[in-house]
Amino acid sequence: MNFEYFLAKRLIKGEAHKISISAPIIKIAIAAIALGVVMMLIAIATGIGLKYKIREKVAAFNGHIQISSYDNNASDVSVIPVSLDQEFYPEFKTIDGIRHIQAVASKAGIIRTETTFEGIIAKGVGADYDWTAFEEYLVEGQLPNYSGDLNEEVLMSDLMANRLHLKTGDTFYAFFLKDGDVSKLPNQRKFKITGLYDSGFEEFDGLYLFTDIRHIQRMNKWEDDQVGNFEVFLNSFDDIDAKSNEIYGNTVSTLDTQTIVNKYYKIFEWISLFDFNIILIIGIVIIVSGFNMITALLVLILERTQMIGILKALGSANWSIRKVFLYNATYLIGIGLFWGNLIGLGIIVLQDRFKILKFPNPKEYYIEYVPVHIDIFTVLALNAGVLILCVLMLLIPSYIITKISPVKAIKFE
């Protein structure tokens, strides 16, 4: 039988414990633990959720990794075509962890209406294009279908449509330079808006228009088996650097690979700061919670000074008595963790389902609502970390028990 655990349990369940002087302080300590856990869970869920959501949006427009010709320029416009006749297309069988690969081509142009005009990048896509992300972003109409004959259907952003005073079902003319030569008459194409999307990413929404890749091929005078580049989607974003190196080693020497992390390094440098903020919040909260528990433990020791003296007089070792109070404190921390998890996870579930919290200025965060993401491993790791660190912090104040004299403690009032 564990004597220390038995004694701690009797102290916790005793009526004197509930009406003692330390009761309010204990409640405050438990509330501090619970509030701290709520703050940490929300900080982790919102930080990771926002990071994942921004990564998803950048990948939706570019893929995780792009394969293009070495002779291409650094812009978003396709200049040197790449043949579709590649070993990795349409399936990358030599490398694991690749979810999808698609062929695209881009061309800069201008949309002109009776009242205004707008510069664009027409992104040509084909029947192999993965529209999964844009199904979520679609706000009106439907996604274009490029699996059949060449058609005029385009997917335009709601932002661009508002600037051009266009809506779903409208037709318009777009103009594209021939071979980049301004002295030649531009190519003219008539398009029809079949759907409007809103990703919340103004940098992309104000630029990209999705059209049939065959329009780009014809304007560039490419063959049917020539495209601008390939976009590769991975099963896990965490493998992006390793997979990029593998893809580079498994393609011909005339092809180059580039990750979205390198292409949009400013965006990814910004979201990498979220990790630092999360760690900082967790560190501060654990320190505050730990000091609250130290205060509660010292009060418990002070309140039970006579009991400590009696136990010492009966021959109990210092470490044995310290364990009694450490068990007691661990129980209190456990109560705080329980309520903190219940409240914190409840808030996260509500936010994930109902999108209650929204950003006052969505343009700054590329999303309208506060996204959340958390997994069971993170929750368990957080709880274990809080429990272990708080208990370790309590080892020092519990040392005061070794300094208590049995004679003075028994006489203590």
Using an 8 Å Cβ cutoff, are 193 and 140 in contact?
Answer: no
The verdict on 361 and 338 lying in the same domain is yes
Residue 65, in any domain of the structure: no
238-281 pLDDT, tens digit each: 999 999 999 999 998 889 999 999 999 999 999 988 889 999 99
The verdict on 276 and 372 lying in the same domain is yes
The verdict on 88 and 231 lying in the same domain is yes
The verdict on 52 and 186 lying in the same domain is no
More confident residue, 184 or 56: 56
Residue 46, in any domain of the structure: yes
In this model, does residue 1 exceed pLDDT 60? no
For the segment 47-61, the average pLDDT, to the nearest whole number, is 94
In this model, does residue 86 exceed pLDDT 60? yes
Which of 221, 253, 285 terminates a domain? The answer is 253
In this model, does residue 14 exceed pLDDT 70? no
Which of 230, 253, 276 terminates a domain? The answer is 253
322-357 pLDDT, tens digit each: 999 899 889 989 999 999 999 999 999 999 999 999
Residue 35, in any domain of the structure: yes
What residue numbers bound the domain in which 77 lies? 71-253
Q: Give the H/E segment covering residue 208.
A: strand 208-212
Q: Give the H/E segment covering residue 196.
A: strand 187-197
Residue 296, in any domain of the structure: yes
In this model, does residue 312 exceed pLDDT 90? no
Residue 263, in any domain of the structure: no
The verdict on 86 and 194 lying in the same domain is yes
In this model, does residue 298 exceed pLDDT 90? no
The verdict on 80 and 208 lying in the same domain is yes
Residue 260, in any domain of the structure: no
Residue 63, in any domain of the structure: no
Which of 201, 219, 253 terminates a domain? The answer is 253
Residue 259, in any domain of the structure: no
The verdict on 205 and 93 lying in the same domain is yes
The verdict on 220 and 273 lying in the same domain is no
The verdict on 245 and 273 lying in the same domain is no
The verdict on 281 and 139 lying in the same domain is no
Distance CA 290, CA 32 (A): 9
Give burial (CB, 10 Å; 0-12/13-18/19+) of 10.
exposed
The verdict on 158 and 223 lying in the same domain is yes
For the segment 112-123, the average pLDDT, to the nearest whole number, is 93
* Number of domains into which the chain is organized: 2
Strand segments (E) across 213-348: 226-227, 229-234, 255-259
Radius of gyration, CA atoms only, the chain? 31
The verdict on 90 and 234 lying in the same domain is yes
- The pTM of this model reads 0.86
For helices 23-62 and 376-395, give the axis angle rounded to 10 degrees: 140
